[in-house]
Amino acid sequence: MKPIPRHWASVRETRTLADGRELDLTVHGSSDESPQVAEHDARDRLERLVASGGPGRRNDPDREYYPDRRLPEELLEELHGPDGELIAAITRNRYGAAVLNTDAVLITDIDLVEPSELDRAQDPSGSFLSRLFGSAPVPLTEEEADPDAFGLPGLHRRGKSHARSLALIETFRAQHPELGVRTYRTRNGFRLLVTGSGLAPRSDRAREFMEQVWSDKLYMILCRVHDTYRARLTPKPWRIDVDRFESLGTRRADDQEHQDWVARYRAASQDVAVCRLLDVSGPAPPAVEQQIIDLHDRATRPESGLRLA
């Protein structure tokens, strides 16, 4: 995968555009060399943005608004394969969570959706649902669903959606027996780690795979923008009563205010997990993909039994 920039800078200026609009513009620049080079990149991109007519113009290659291009994220860690090649990186996202970025394992998130959106889903065998819910591989009604089943938040409110999302995952697994599939429950949905595909994040085939399980639309856009699959490794701050993170670009990662926030966040994260492992199927992953899985599972604590956040 391509390296993630080590240095970021933001330039904020009020500029008058050729059409007379006066806009407050914020442009981000990046560099692997230094913060100074990152600032130069930001200023250069600001001038190109103004010359192109400003944000929102169809012919503007440097649109700044989310999620058209990668935004500043602090680089926390890099992971290299046996041959020294970069295979993953951990960054801190715009609200403070650590995020795994990789192109070595296909990762996709599935948010629970309303039952009407999944009426066409079919469960070919019921095997996966049977293992999770018992003998009846059918969607649960709100009355039948147990609020405390598996300790999974929201199941009592969205039982039908939960079961039918699982049916989509089971269909995907049945259609692709050559792939390894690790299925996790997140607080508001599911996460799949799919091994053996070899698909690039921006590829049409990767998008087709994600669409087969009704992946979150914004997540699919982020994968294309960042050219990596992404998986949140640590809790969302508001779920553990921590104030919201101020994005990189408004302050430096080595600022004391930034470091104090990280310390509070880490302390509050100790008693929660990000996802729960439900099932593993298919061929064993090769060594590089196993490295990614091991990193993911160490961080997300999927077999800890802790509440999800």
Q: Please give the biggest Cα pair distance in the chain.
A: 67
pTM (two decimals) = 0.77
Identify which has the larger pLDDT, 92 or 113. Answer: 92
Q: Among residues 75, 37, 280, which one has the least CA distance to residue 179?
A: 280
Rounded to 5, what percent of the chain is helix, strand, coil? 30, 25, 45
Residue 60, pLDDT score = 42
Residue by residue, DSSP assigns 26-73 as EEEEEESS-HHHHHHHHHHHHHHHHHTTSTT-TT-TT--STTSSPPP-
- Each residue of 115-149: pLDDT tens digit? 444 333 334 344 444 444 333 333 333 332 333 33
Cα separation values, 220 from 208, 227, 255, 293, Å: 10, 10, 33, 20
User: DSSP string of 202-222?
Assistant: TSHHHHHHHHHTT--HHHHHH
Q: Give me the sign of the Cα torsion angle 247, 249, 253, 257.
A: negative
**What would you report as the CA-atom Rg of the chain, rounded to the nearest whole angstrom?**
21
Residue 250 has pLDDT above 70, yes or no: no
Cβ–Cβ < 8 Å for 234, 97: yes
Percentage above 70 pLDDT, the chain: 78
